[in-house]
A and B are shown apart, each in its own frame.
Chain A
């Protein structure tokens, strides 16, 4: 069994690397340490404003919003593709839902309910995702270019549609507060985990100055983030589809040679990023009862950045949902919390995020080379 003179075997060469080394190779480890560092830093410099019920609610709103689209971006990146149309898709979906709620369903289908508006919008965004995916796999063009084209196309269409059907305005505001008495609107725009905040009130932490309960609950999008994160974690780590996603991104020729339906995997994931963008938009529309043609601007890049910070390798084949959850926490926290720190100019957050992104990209590349034997 390939022994040399002193009786050593090929397999022995791997055992020397265990324990800490194995841990270092996990895709989540970098983002986890980054998250710990940032949480500790914030606790020290801005503990009183960040770690109170309202601070937690606000931070988690930003984090989960980013987290939802970062999950989509991460899965697609593991399969070896990008989607730069996520932000425009958010704008498109938000416009579509808000206009249906204001002006009724298209094609004379009558009054819209939050459910029908959501489902019809989802059907459109999934169809667009399917078109994007088909263009990418059939043309062999880089998804960077194809989705960049859709970034422009969808944003333009959103503005044109607004002007055409919304009396020339690219905004809708003052919609009725549907979440008050519609269940579907509530699960997107309402509150989740109320019981935790009631419990916190009971134990005397979640109390405002008048002695009442301060924060009612977290935004519903936090629950969406957790649910989506859990489902995609199981799919990626445990299921056949998860193996196909990794295989597709790692080396699509060998995946295809082994019978993995590479094209369908990619098209499906482009549809999934469209799905994530639609959930993002639905939470926004039914929470604020507004829509704006500019919504979602640059979100595609934040989603990709959060995925990279979460340990996803840009060239595909490597990454994890747990990592991207940590990545979203890092990104969302920094984005939101730097403004709490009075002695730092708020705009430094971009400088900081850029630096974190660069470090993460280097670290990921290092891990990839370690695994493929480059180091």
Chain B
């Protein structure tokens, strides 16, 4: 980490309690511009809670989030979006029967005339949609095709391109590869790489998959039972470390032994 680089998002000792249950117990992490930050951990580790706090869905019990150095508190997803945090959830918030362009601009159409009766500038919207998707690697031949006819990977790309176009500086990708086939997973990883290559956008990549994270991530944060059990850059963490932390801190050898005794 270059000493002058400032984190785009800094999360400081976030605690989140749901009644008696402590979902997050003092989690801190820094998301640097232009980096892919893999957030890893087992089910129930607190990944979802953390990103929902970043996306403005939940409010932290205590702790502070900083965006580009200034403290923020999000009361709604709208606040988070306005601060430049774009979340791409697993369902992608896409409408299958509508065209690519209509999905891209859903709720944020370009139009002339009085809202909401303004006439959409469809040619311009088609062009922007096409261009934005080419930037991160998919050349859709026909922006009027229905999203339902696209592959899972293409849909991910559409959702990501849309978030970037509408001002996301930080993209939160919630398990973008988990519901896809092998080939489409690669598609999504390529898309992540291309977004990274744009240089100014940070990605928080939530995944279960150690291999995927190692392929694209620059920095890692491992959560287990609501706490950070390890973090660092790719260089700082050797391959074995990642595997050990992935398993919630358990040694692979121990696991092998455990399995062998059954």
A residues neighboring B (CB under 8 Å)? 1-2, 10-11, 14-15, 234-235, 238-244, 246-247, 250-251, 253-255, 257-260, 313, 317-318, 368, 371-373
Give Cα A333 to B130, complex, Å: 44
Known: A11-B141, A243-B120, A258-B106. A2 touches B96 (CB 8 A): no
Give Cα A242 to B113, complex, Å: 14
Of all chain B residues, the one with the shortest Cβ separation from A13 is B151
Nearest CB in chain A: distance from B161 CB, A: 14
Let me know if B116 is at the binding interface, CB within 8 A: yes
Q: A251-B94, A254-B92 are in contact. List 10 more A-B contacts (CB 8 A).
A: A1-B139, A2-B186, A14-B149, A239-B117, A239-B119, A240-B116, A241-B117, A243-B120, A255-B106, A371-B146
Nearest CB in chain B: distance from A239 CB, A: 5
Question: Is the CB–CB distance between B98 and A240 below 8 Å?
Answer: no
User: Could you jot down 28 A-B contacts, CB within 8 Å?
Assistant: A2-B186, A11-B138, A240-B109, A240-B115, A241-B117, A243-B98, A243-B109, A243-B120, A246-B97, A247-B102, A247-B107, A251-B94, A254-B95, A255-B95, A255-B107, A258-B106, A258-B108, A259-B106, A260-B106, A317-B95, A317-B96, A317-B97, A317-B98, A371-B146, A371-B148, A372-B146, A372-B148, A373-B148
Nearest CB in chain B: distance from A260 CB, A: 4
Nearest CB in chain A: distance from B245 CB, A: 32
Give Cα A368 to B154, complex, Å: 20
Question: Is the CB–CB distance between A14 and B122 below 8 Å?
Answer: no
Question: Is the CB–CB distance between A258 and B107 below 8 Å?
Answer: yes
Give Cα A238 to B119, complex, Å: 6
Let me know if B253 is at the binding interface, CB within 8 A: no
Nearest CB in chain B: distance from A245 CB, A: 10
Of all chain A residues, the one with the shortest Cβ separation from B96 is A372
Let me know if B118 is at the binding interface, CB within 8 A: yes
Sorting the interface of chain B by its residue count into under 10, 10 to 19, 20 to 34 or 35 or more gives 35 or more
Give Cα A144 to B120, complex, Å: 32
Q: Which of A234, A240, A258, A373 has the most CB of B within 10 A?
A: A240
- Give every chain A residue within 8 A of B109 (Cβ-Cβ): 240, 243
Which among B91, B118, B145 is the interface contact of A254 at CB below 8 angstroms? B91
Let me know if B187 is at the binding interface, CB within 8 A: yes
- Give every chain B residue within 8 A of A2 (Cβ-Cβ): 153, 183, 186-187
- Give every chain B residue within 8 A of A257 (Cβ-Cβ): 77, 89, 93
Let me know if B105 is at the binding interface, CB within 8 A: yes
